[in-house]
Protein backbone atom coordinates (compact mmCIF):
# COMPACT_ATOMS: atom_id res chain seq x y z
CA UNK A 1 0.00 0.00 0.00
CA UNK A 2 1.28 3.46 -0.91
CA UNK A 3 2.20 5.89 1.84
CA UNK A 4 0.00 9.00 1.70
CA UNK A 5 1.55 12.45 1.92
CA UNK A 6 -0.79 15.43 2.12
CA UNK A 7 0.80 18.73 1.05
CA UNK A 8 -0.93 21.95 2.07
CA UNK A 9 -0.06 25.13 0.18
CA UNK A 10 0.42 28.59 1.59
CA UNK A 11 -1.69 31.69 1.18
CA UNK A 12 -1.97 33.76 -1.95
CA UNK A 13 -0.02 36.82 -3.02
CA UNK A 14 -2.61 39.43 -2.13
CA UNK A 15 -3.28 39.04 1.57
CA UNK A 16 -5.20 41.84 3.30
CA UNK A 17 -4.30 43.00 6.78
CA UNK A 18 -7.24 43.65 9.08
CA UNK A 19 -9.36 46.49 7.72
CA UNK A 20 -7.33 46.77 4.51
CA UNK A 21 -9.08 46.67 1.14
CA UNK A 22 -7.85 44.75 -1.90
CA UNK A 23 -7.44 48.09 -3.73
CA UNK A 24 -5.04 49.25 -1.00
CA UNK A 25 -3.07 46.02 -1.24
CA UNK A 26 -2.73 46.21 -5.02
CA UNK A 27 -1.81 49.91 -4.91
CA UNK A 28 0.99 49.22 -2.41
CA UNK A 29 2.36 46.05 -4.04
CA UNK A 30 5.25 46.21 -6.51
CA UNK A 31 5.30 43.57 -9.25
CA UNK A 32 8.51 41.60 -9.70
CA UNK A 33 9.38 39.89 -12.97
CA UNK A 34 11.02 37.03 -11.08
CA UNK A 35 7.74 36.17 -9.37
CA UNK A 36 5.90 36.18 -12.72
CA UNK A 37 8.10 33.53 -14.32
CA UNK A 38 6.57 30.07 -14.21
CA UNK A 39 8.68 27.71 -12.23
CA UNK A 40 8.18 24.28 -10.78
CA UNK A 41 8.68 24.19 -7.05
CA UNK A 42 9.56 21.36 -4.68
CA UNK A 43 5.86 20.66 -3.94
CA UNK A 44 5.08 20.02 -7.61
CA UNK A 45 8.02 17.61 -7.87
CA UNK A 46 7.36 15.74 -4.64
CA UNK A 47 5.49 12.82 -6.21
CA UNK A 48 8.22 12.26 -8.78
CA UNK A 49 10.99 12.51 -6.17
CA UNK A 50 9.32 10.24 -3.62
CA UNK A 51 8.48 7.61 -6.22
CA UNK A 52 5.79 4.99 -6.70
CA UNK A 53 5.63 3.96 -3.04
CA UNK A 54 4.03 7.31 -2.16
CA UNK A 55 0.73 8.97 -3.02
CA UNK A 56 1.16 12.76 -2.82
CA UNK A 57 -2.09 14.67 -2.36
CA UNK A 58 -2.34 18.46 -2.71
CA UNK A 59 -5.80 19.81 -1.93
CA UNK A 60 -6.65 23.36 -2.93
CA UNK A 61 -7.65 25.28 0.15
CA UNK A 62 -10.48 27.80 -0.13
CA UNK A 63 -9.98 31.50 -0.67
CA UNK A 64 -6.15 31.49 -0.58
CA UNK A 65 -5.86 35.25 -1.11
CA UNK A 66 -8.14 36.06 1.82
CA UNK A 67 -8.04 32.87 3.92
CA UNK A 68 -10.22 32.32 6.95
CA UNK A 69 -9.29 29.66 9.47
CA UNK A 70 -12.91 28.48 9.87
CA UNK A 71 -13.17 27.87 6.11
CA UNK A 72 -9.87 26.01 5.91
CA UNK A 73 -10.74 23.98 9.01
CA UNK A 74 -14.14 22.96 7.62
CA UNK A 75 -12.63 21.86 4.29
CA UNK A 76 -9.72 20.07 6.01
CA UNK A 77 -12.12 18.16 8.25
CA UNK A 78 -13.94 16.92 5.15
CA UNK A 79 -10.59 15.71 3.75
CA UNK A 80 -9.30 13.99 6.92
CA UNK A 81 -11.66 10.96 6.77
CA UNK A 82 -10.34 10.16 3.28
CA UNK A 83 -6.78 9.79 4.56
CA UNK A 84 -5.03 6.75 5.99
CA UNK A 85 -4.12 6.76 9.68
CA UNK A 86 -0.43 6.77 8.71
CA UNK A 87 -0.71 9.79 6.38
CA UNK A 88 2.19 12.24 6.59
CA UNK A 89 1.40 15.98 6.55
CA UNK A 90 3.46 18.69 4.85
CA UNK A 91 2.64 22.39 5.07
CA UNK A 92 4.28 25.35 3.40
CA UNK A 93 4.02 28.87 4.80
CA UNK A 94 0.40 29.53 5.77
CA UNK A 95 -0.34 25.84 5.14
CA UNK A 96 2.32 25.01 7.76
CA UNK A 97 0.81 27.45 10.22
CA UNK A 98 -2.63 25.96 9.60
CA UNK A 99 -1.41 22.40 10.26
CA UNK A 100 0.46 23.51 13.41
CA UNK A 101 -2.63 25.28 14.71
CA UNK A 102 -5.06 22.52 13.77
CA UNK A 103 -3.06 19.61 15.18
CA UNK A 104 -2.18 21.50 18.37
CA UNK A 105 -5.81 22.49 19.06
CA UNK A 106 -8.02 19.75 17.59
CA UNK A 107 -8.14 16.19 18.92
CA UNK A 108 -9.40 14.93 15.54
CA UNK A 109 -6.37 12.68 15.18
CA UNK A 110 -4.65 11.36 18.25
CA UNK A 111 -1.57 10.25 16.34
CA UNK A 112 0.26 11.91 13.43
CA UNK A 113 3.29 9.86 12.29
CA UNK A 114 5.13 12.93 10.95
CA UNK A 115 4.51 16.61 10.34
CA UNK A 116 6.76 18.68 8.06
CA UNK A 117 6.47 22.48 8.42
CA UNK A 118 8.20 24.58 5.75
CA UNK A 119 8.68 28.30 6.48
CA UNK A 120 5.89 28.35 9.06
CA UNK A 121 4.77 31.75 10.35
CA UNK A 122 4.35 31.96 14.10
CA UNK A 123 2.43 35.23 14.14
CA UNK A 124 -0.66 35.72 12.03
CA UNK A 125 1.05 37.99 9.43
CA UNK A 126 -2.24 39.72 8.70
CA UNK A 127 -4.40 36.64 8.88
CA UNK A 128 -7.23 36.30 11.35
CA UNK A 129 -5.79 33.28 13.11
CA UNK A 130 -2.93 32.79 15.50
CA UNK A 131 -1.18 29.95 17.23
CA UNK A 132 -1.99 29.42 20.87
CA UNK A 133 -0.19 26.42 22.33
CA UNK A 134 1.98 24.59 19.82
CA UNK A 135 3.53 22.59 22.65
CA UNK A 136 0.51 20.29 22.30
CA UNK A 137 1.97 19.14 18.94
CA UNK A 138 4.42 17.04 20.93
CA UNK A 139 1.48 15.01 22.26
CA UNK A 140 0.04 14.13 18.82
CA UNK A 141 2.99 14.16 16.42
CA UNK A 142 5.58 11.37 16.49
CA UNK A 143 8.14 13.21 14.31
CA UNK A 144 8.18 16.94 13.64
CA UNK A 145 10.45 18.65 11.11
CA UNK A 146 10.71 22.41 10.61
CA UNK A 147 12.54 23.97 7.64
CA UNK A 148 13.38 27.65 7.38
CA UNK A 149 15.84 29.68 5.35
CA UNK A 150 17.69 32.53 7.01
CA UNK A 151 16.99 34.74 3.97
CA UNK A 152 13.22 34.12 3.84
CA UNK A 153 11.69 37.37 2.58
CA UNK A 154 8.09 36.41 3.46
CA UNK A 155 8.26 34.76 6.89
CA UNK A 156 11.05 36.06 9.12
CA UNK A 157 13.53 33.48 10.35
CA UNK A 158 12.67 34.56 13.91
CA UNK A 159 9.43 32.56 13.54
CA UNK A 160 11.46 29.34 13.61
CA UNK A 161 13.19 30.50 16.76
CA UNK A 162 9.77 30.69 18.44
CA UNK A 163 8.89 27.19 17.26
CA UNK A 164 12.28 25.95 18.47
CA UNK A 165 11.64 27.44 21.91
CA UNK A 166 8.21 25.78 22.19
CA UNK A 167 9.12 22.47 20.49
CA UNK A 168 12.67 21.55 21.55
CA UNK A 169 12.27 17.92 20.40
CA UNK A 170 11.51 18.90 16.79
CA UNK A 171 14.14 18.50 14.09
CA UNK A 172 15.08 21.92 12.73
CA UNK A 173 16.63 22.39 9.32
CA UNK A 174 18.12 25.89 9.37
CA UNK A 175 19.03 26.64 5.78
CA UNK A 176 20.42 29.60 3.87
CA UNK A 177 19.94 30.96 0.37
CA UNK A 178 16.56 29.26 -0.14
CA UNK A 179 14.26 32.26 0.37
CA UNK A 180 10.64 31.28 0.96
CA UNK A 181 11.06 27.90 -0.79
CA UNK A 182 9.10 28.92 -3.90
CA UNK A 183 11.47 27.03 -6.20
CA UNK A 184 12.83 23.53 -6.50
CA UNK A 185 15.15 24.10 -3.55
CA UNK A 186 14.21 21.74 -0.72
CA UNK A 187 15.73 18.29 -1.41
CA UNK A 188 16.13 17.71 2.35
CA UNK A 189 12.41 17.12 2.78
CA UNK A 190 12.48 14.11 0.45
CA UNK A 191 15.18 12.43 2.53
CA UNK A 192 13.33 13.23 5.75
CA UNK A 193 10.03 11.83 4.44
CA UNK A 194 11.70 8.62 3.25
Contacts of 156 (CB under 8 A, 6+ apart): none
Is residue 17, in this structure, part of any structural domain at all? no
Domain count, the chain: 1
CATH classification at residue 98? 3.40.50.1820
Is residue 31, in this structure, part of any structural domain at all? no
Q: How would you class 11 by CB atoms within 10 Å of its CB: exposed for 0-12, middle for 13-18, buried for 19 or more?
A: buried
Query: 148: number of CA atoms within 13 Å, CB side?
Result: 26
In angstroms, the CA 59 to CA 149 distance is 25
Is residue 151, in this structure, part of any structural domain at all? yes
pLDDT by position in tens, the chain (length 194): 899 999 998 876 556 566 667 677 677 777 767 666 666 789 989 999 999 999 999 998 888 777 888 999 999 999 999 999 999 999 999 999 999 999 998 866 668 999 999 999 988 666 667 787 888 888 889 999 999 999 998 889 999 889 999 999 999 999 999 999 988 889 999 999 99
Domain that holds residue 156: 3-12+40-193
Is residue 32, in this structure, part of any structural domain at all? no
**Measuring CA to CA, which residue among 69, 169, 88, 160 is closest to residue 119?**
160
Q: Are 156 and 123 in contact (CB under 8 A)?
A: no
Is residue 25, in this structure, part of any structural domain at all? no
Is residue 84, in this structure, part of any structural domain at all? yes
In angstroms, the CA 26 to CA 141 distance is 39
Amino acid sequence: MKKQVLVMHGGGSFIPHKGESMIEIIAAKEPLLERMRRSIDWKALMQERLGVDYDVLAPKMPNADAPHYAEWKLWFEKILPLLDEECLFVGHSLGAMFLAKYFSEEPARAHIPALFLVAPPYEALGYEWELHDVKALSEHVAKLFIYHSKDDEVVPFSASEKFKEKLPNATFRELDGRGHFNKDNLPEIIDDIK
